Chain A
Amino acid sequence: MKNNYKLLDVKNLRTAFNVEGKDVTVVNDISFNLSPGEIVGLVGESGCGKSVTALSLMGLVPDPPGKILGGEIFLEGKDLLKFSESDMEKVRGKEIGMIFQEPMTSLNPVLTIGKQITEILELHQDMSKEEAINEAIDLLKLVGLTDPELRINDYPHKLSGGQRQRIMIAIALSCKPKILIADEPTTALDVTIQAQILELIQKLSNELGTSVILITHNLGILARYAHKINVMYAGHLIESGTTDEIFYNPKHPYTAGLLNSVPRLDLDPNIELPTIKGEVPNLAEFNEGCIFKTRCPNPTNDCKDGKSEMGLIEVEPGHLVDKCCVNCK
């Protein structure tokens, strides 16, 4: 199933937000790709630009204040950034589905579950009302909801967070999109429900052949579900590779720091967890050089002076690391 065909190829994506009259680049020169059926993780801490990257792919960056400054997003060879708004409407929901972090607020409280599923089927699949209702019931069965015939007449407030996220998955996958973007799909859920939802996403990805971009701040999730991992830091992609490479052979000091700061059952619980020193720089004030220079364990003089230039280089086949920090660890 995995091959080298690039279903999605993001090149040098740059997205900025206007903050008090100043453009702040929050997604800076991001490039990555996605093959059919693959689950790719996008990991980083809050505010690193993961979600904005996802919204850029969907053409949903709120404008104003947001704006895509440059780059290319090829979906099956066509650049989405050159699409008109009405062309993008045919991509959203049909070619790329998306689920969000907050299942409690992501469904419209005044519309029935059924209506919220059938409207997308009627829109993209040219289904009649009845066909759409039957399909919606099948979709609810697929995502493991009990009594789907009754559920479609319910309003979202009657369902739990986990149930709502299942419905979001049903909506996102209803038109058999090629790509599913899952933006922190389990962050707001109980731990036991988290596993169920992720298992469901993995199972459906296998069955339907959907590629998944799994956005999370939780490395543990990616270890279990992702084929490849992209690590983001303060708007930059700083390391990218297969899950095994990232976990067993991290090159960037930030990736290594993240891995070390994950609590583990096989280590002495009395030893304090290592942390990454320092803080994420304020992007509005950051001027030049390596974005990681303020927290780097071994910065060179060039790094400190802001003379180093960022950019990914290949250290092993398929394993890319930002060139400033290849040897900083």
Chain B
Amino acid sequence: MYKYIFRRISLSIPTLIGVSILIFFFMRILPGDVVDAMVTDETGALVFTDAQVESIEESLGLNRPLHIQYLGWMKDVVAGDLGYSFWTKISVGEHVRRRAPMTLEIAVLSLIISWIIGLPVGILAAINRNSLRDYISRGIVILFLAIPSFYAALGFLIFFVLVFTWRPPVEVIFFWQNPIQSLYVALPAAVAIGTGMAAVVARMARSSILEVIREDYVRTAKSKGLTKRTIINRHVLKNALIPVVTISGLQFGNLLSGVIAVEAALSIPGLGVLLAQGLADRDWMIIQNLVLIFAFLFILINLLVDISYSLIDPRIRYD
């Protein structure tokens, strides 16, 4: 098992290097760059002389050859140094440390919400197949699959502000400082993202359970005289879980997209807003390091999903 995990992690290193090269050259080769953004006003006209531009480039280390810049970045990343924002001169690591907890809180809550809503809805729809309950839950699933999470978040915002004269908090409260206050900020965002993910979980759970119910071993369980409830709980659910875990892992991408837009909608200063801001400013250090972190998390989550298979199904063993 540990050998497998080790092998998977070492296999992911080339992928991560690939991602870093992709990001780096996207940022450097494409026309827009940070110095352009710095030295031009909103209409695109230059407000600095060429000499000034050169000195800015030199101070940012942008006049070095590309491969030197890239290797320098990689050296720093390996050493745990994420560099400094071009604009604010604040260390990217410091930015991440300040903002990651809130984003992580939203992400974890969204995941929990997607399971505690999605799984029961999927189970109920499956065992009451083609009943009114099934139709209603499928209707809700179709609707929630289509509502963009930032729209839901905007809906909450409008509702809370207009009805409860609520104000979005100005500063972020970490979960360990004051859990209730912190949830106050994170929960609306997590509900907005989590319900859409719950729809995906519910749909997958329903179809997966319907498939498992037809298996021979469920017929065996029935022939033993077990009650319907025992059959579902003991014989069906665990077998139906693998596709649900898979889709939940694949949703990590949707989760990240959701976080970016929902943080923007609710003015929550998290990693998503940091990335969006970095992109608008073409702040390479922020962009390239954040995207690398996201890609790393994505690969890590896929690994966790694969490991969880072996906990669910004894036939899957990584030796």
Contact = CB atoms under 8 A, between A and B. Distances in A.
- Tell whether A pairs with B: yes
Contacts of A120: 224-226
Interface of B: 215-217, 219-227, 230, 234-235, 238-239, 312-315
Contacts of B217: 105-109
Interface string A99-118: 01010011111110000000
A105 B217 CA distance: 6
A91 interface: yes
Select the residue from A93, A94, A172 with max chain B CB neighbours within 10 A.
A93
Contact of B225 (A89, A108, A110, A111): A89
Contacts of A105: 215-217
Nearest to A94: B225
Given A97-B223, A110-B312, 12 more contacts: A60-B223, A86-B227, A88-B225, A91-B225, A106-B217, A107-B217, A107-B220, A108-B220, A111-B238, A120-B225, A155-B314, A157-B314
A119 B234 contact: yes
B219 A100 contact: yes
B239 A109 contact: yes
B234 to A, nearest CB: 7
B196 to A, nearest CB: 30
A106 B216 contact: yes
A108 B234 CA distance: 10
A233 B191 CA distance: 60
Contacts of A109: 217, 239, 313-315
Given A105-B215, A111-B235, A89 B227 contact: yes
B234 A58 contact: no
B216 to A, nearest CB: 4
B225 A123 contact: yes
Nearest to A110: B238
B315 A123 contact: no
A107 B235 CA distance: 10
Contacts of A172: 223
Contacts of A140: none
A237 interface: no
Contact of A100 (B216, B225, B238, B239): B216
13 contacts: A60-B223, A88-B225, A89-B227, A94-B225, A106-B219, A107-B217, A108-B217, A109-B314, A110-B313, A111-B238, A119-B226, A120-B225, A171-B224
A310 to B, nearest CB: 31
Nearest to B235: A108
Contacts of A102: 216
B18 to A, nearest CB: 36
A34 interface: no
A40 to B, nearest CB: 19
A93 B225 contact: yes
Nearest to B223: A98
B48 to A, nearest CB: 67
A97 B222 CA distance: 11
Select the residue from A94, A97, A108 with max chain B CB neighbours within 10 A.
A108
B235 A100 contact: no
A90 interface: yes
A107 B230 CA distance: 16
B243 to A, nearest CB: 14
A124 interface: yes
Nearest to B241: A110
A226 interface: no
Contacts of A98: 223
Contacts of A94: 225
B291 to A, nearest CB: 38
B227 to A, nearest CB: 6
Contact of A157 (B223, B224, B312, B315): B315
A271 B312 CA distance: 56
Contacts of B216: 100, 102, 105-106
B220 A100 contact: yes
B266 to A, nearest CB: 41
Contacts of A157: 314-315
A168 B223 CA distance: 11
Contact of A171 (B215, B220, B222, B230): B220
A106 B221 CA distance: 9
B239 A110 contact: yes
A108 B216 CA distance: 8
Given A111-B235, A155-B314, A155-B315, A92 B225 contact: yes
Contact of A60 (B222, B234, B312): B222
Nearest to A112: B314
Nearest to A88: B225
A171 B234 CA distance: 17
A168 B220 contact: yes
Select the residue from A106, A110, A124 with max chain B CB neighbours within 10 A.
A110
A172 B222 CA distance: 12
